[in-house]
Amino acid sequence: MTTVETDLPEPRLARVWRGLSGAFAAGLVLLALVMIGVQVYAGTRDLPGPGLDVVLGHVLAAVIAVVAQLLADRRRGWPAAALSLLVVVAGAVALWLFWWA
């Protein structure tokens, strides 16, 4: 009888990496919700706010991160690691474009 790859325990580093990317994805969702709230608050008080493009950029980054994280949680090996990296890259791009650049 041969051992199937799914029967092998997942390495600890892989679990930690996927957990960190999951926390990062959750943080991006919270940041997107905050940006939506700030835009609504600003719009109701005739303040400029962050702008629709910035809010949509945060929402897009959060959606990409959540979808990539869900896919990463259902895979093993390099595909899971690559999808977790996509989560971090999506967040880094959003932070760079909308906060630091």
Average pLDDT over residues 2-8: 59
- CA 28 from chain centre, in angstroms, equals 5
pLDDT, residue 63, reads: 98
Burial label for 68, CB within 10 Å (0-12, 13-18, 19+), is: buried
Distance from C-alpha of 78 to C-alpha of 75, rounded to nearest angstrom: 9
SS3 per-residue string spanning 77-99: CHHHHHHHHHHHHHHHHHHHHHH
Task: List, in order, residues 6 or more apart from 74 with CB less than 8 Å away.
Answer: none
Quick: pLDDT tens for 20-60. Answer: 999 999 999 999 999 999 999 999 999 999 999 999 999 99
Rounded mean pLDDT of the chain? 92
Distance from C-alpha of 85 to C-alpha of 96, rounded to nearest angstrom: 16
pLDDT of residue 2 exceeding 80, the answer is no
